[in-house]
Amino acid sequence: MAIQSIKFHYSDFVCATLVADGGSENHAVTISQLLETTPNPEITKVVALKDIAFSNSPVEAVNKVMKRYLRYYEPDSGERLYECLSLAVEDYCSVRPHVSLGGRTPLEAYTDVFPDLDFTEKTRQAREVRVNFNKSNGCGRC
């Protein structure tokens, strides 16, 4: 699907780079066969921290998040797996704000959209609700 996406969105790309870590799943025969049989785009595999100076830990962090979604939804079929991953990608990219992106979603960061992050009024309202609740729900001794 990633190769199809590259072809669809970037039809003029003639090459791509696959950044892999040292895990055995990235060095299986099927990966080698895929790389050999994909002429457009030509895919070059590099190993993080071996062939290149940086790591693929940002992508691994996203994989960890996706695994959490899958553990929560427990898909029991290929169709349900696809639905769960589609939901997870939408939530992760378009709904959940990320601290590392200054409170923006990845889509907002990519499209250079800056949401209003002034929570002054909401903070004031929350404090007022909390104080009123505490005053009306005391222990009776004070």
Say if pTM beats, i.e. exceeds, 0.95: no
Q: Which residue bears the tokens 């709904």?
A: 95
Angle at 79 between CA 2 and CA 63, to 5 degrees: 45
Q: What are phi and psi of 51, to 5 degrees?
A: -85, -25
Asked if 4 contacts 12 with a C-beta cutoff of 8 angstroms, the reply is no
Q: What are phi and psi of 38, to 5 degrees?
A: -110, 95
pLDDT digits (tens, 9 = 90+) for 32-75: 898 899 888 889 999 989 899 988 888 888 899 999 999 999 99
